[in-house]
Structure 1
Amino acid sequence: MSKLIQYASLHATPWKNGGGSTTEIAIAPNGATFDNFDWRISLATIAHSGPFSLFPGIDRTLTLVSGPCVVLDVGNERKVALSEREPVVAFPGELAVSATVGDAPTTDFNVMTRRARCSHQLERRVVRGFSTLERRSATTIVFLAEGESLAIISADERVAMVRYDAVVLSTEDVWTLEAASATVFIVDIIPNDEEDE
């Protein structure tokens, strides 16, 4: 069976530097910490400008969910304005990254994978009516970033979601996404041994 993670059941943790908070959505293996997770998915609210924590050996992807814009200075090499126009940025966790926010905070979807064990792919998809999702990896997570509701349907299951809910899909190969209008993030977690096949 697929695992529905209801946003209403989750809790935000303030950052140590006071610049925002993080709501953990899913982590593997179960009970893992920052020191030993294989992968981690969360929502981060950035309320004040400041540096990100360093995560050596971790690959990260940030995607804007709500808010006007946040400018990221990535390793003093490039600046990225994370906004509706350019909503996704990927970077190694060991790089020094600082965020500059404007008058309003932003909420960002954050995917982290430990490079020695796995990698990830993130797809932003707009669903109006129906959309087919074919599984591409052993672990697939669907997150409802925008829209009131979304149904995820397979031959054996129907899972109903509201905004900011997530689903870790079971091993069914083909799913149908159904919504009047929704933006979803589809995350595939790919173990390193799967990449070598």
Structure 2
Amino acid sequence: MQILRAAAHRTMPWKNGGGSTTEIAVAPDGAGLDDFDWRISMAVVAADGPFSAFPGVDRTLAVLQGNGLVLHGLPGGPVRLERGAAPFAFPADAAVSATLPDGPITDLNVMTRRGRFRSRVRRIAGSATLDAGTAIAFVLADTPCRAAVDVTAPLDLARHDALRLDRAAGLPVTIAGGSAWLIELLPDQ
């Protein structure tokens, strides 16, 4: 188990230069935007525009703050994502753009390289059990909370702190006093 404090997250430019992203974790360690197996980040989207393209990668997006955004360029027409809605998964190599009908947002962005990893992302306020196939999991505090995993003592997490769990298959996770995002990374076989 490893705590990744929000103050230590790395901020860097978007691949397309249109903004900045805050990287929470990436594998392998030190991987760049073109060679990661998986990557977890947050971004402030302050203006309408295109998403960066990531060939061979799948993306799961959730709104952490703000009133939502609309994704364009996906089969089936525009998709509106709002705070509190279920995360939305789509190919990161699709030519997708976003509009902000109600102002800037902050999003959670989980990307996995096809053939290596896949992800499962869900918001929890209470308890959850990790999937039996989970290799690595993260608890990302949406609000300040206490997180307990398996039988460990609860850990206090500030907003956007993360807790990394390796060999996480089947572990129970409990969140008290707030809410968090549970991000599971599973081998893509």
TM-score (norm 1): 0.84
Query: Which moved further from structure 2: 35-44 or 76-85?
Result: 76-85
TM-fit CA distance, 1:156 = 4.3
- For the pair 1:138 / 2:156, whether they are aligned, the reply is no
Q: Deviations over 1:106-151 (max 9, x none)?
A: 0000000000211111122223xxx253453111111112x22222
The answer to whether 1:151 aligns with 2:151 is: no
Structure possessing the higher radius of gyration over alpha carbons = 1
> SS state of the match for residue 179, structure 2?
strand
Question: By how many angstroms is 1:65 displaced?
Answer: 0.4
1:37 matched to which residue of 2? 36
Q: Which residue of 2 aligns with 1:174?
A: 171
The answer to which of 39-48 and 28-37 deviates more is 28-37
The whole-number CA distance in structure 2 between the counterparts of 1:103 and 1:14 is: 24
Partner residue, 2:103:
104
Deviation at 1:41, TM superposition (A): 0.2
Q: Where does residue 184 of structure 1 map in the other structure?
A: 180
* Higher normalized strand content (fraction of residues): 1
Instruction: Give the secondary structure class of the aligned counterpart of 2:83.
Output: coil
Structure 1 pair 76/51, CA: closer, same or farther in 2 (3 Å)?
A: farther
Given candidates 158, 163, 173, the residue that maps to 2:159 is 163
What's the CA shift string for 1:31-84, capped at 9, x where partnerless? Answer: 111221100000011001100111110000000100011111033642111113
CA separation in 2, counterparts of 1:89 and 1:133? 21
Q: Which contiguous aligned blocks of 4+ residues in structure 1 show a shift greater than 6 angstroms?
A: none
Q: Which residue of 2 aligns with 1:57?
A: 56
CA distance in 2 between counterparts of 1:117 and 1:47 reads 32
Question: AA paired with 2:174?
Answer: L
Change (3 A) 1:134 1:10: closer
What amino acid maps onto 2:180 in structure 1?
A: V
Instruction: Specify the code of the residue in structure 1 equivalent to 2:35.
Output: N
TM-score by length of 2: 0.87
How far apart, in 2, do the equivalents of 1:79 and 1:124 lie?
A: 23
Distance 1:153 1:161, change over 3 A: same
How many residues are matched?
187
Q: Report the Cα offset of residue 88 of structure 1.
A: 2.1
% identity of equivalent residues: 39
> Letter of the aligned partner of 2:146 in structure 1?
L
Q: 2: CA distance between counterparts of 1:54 and 1:134? A: 30
Structure 2 unaligned regions, length at least 5: none
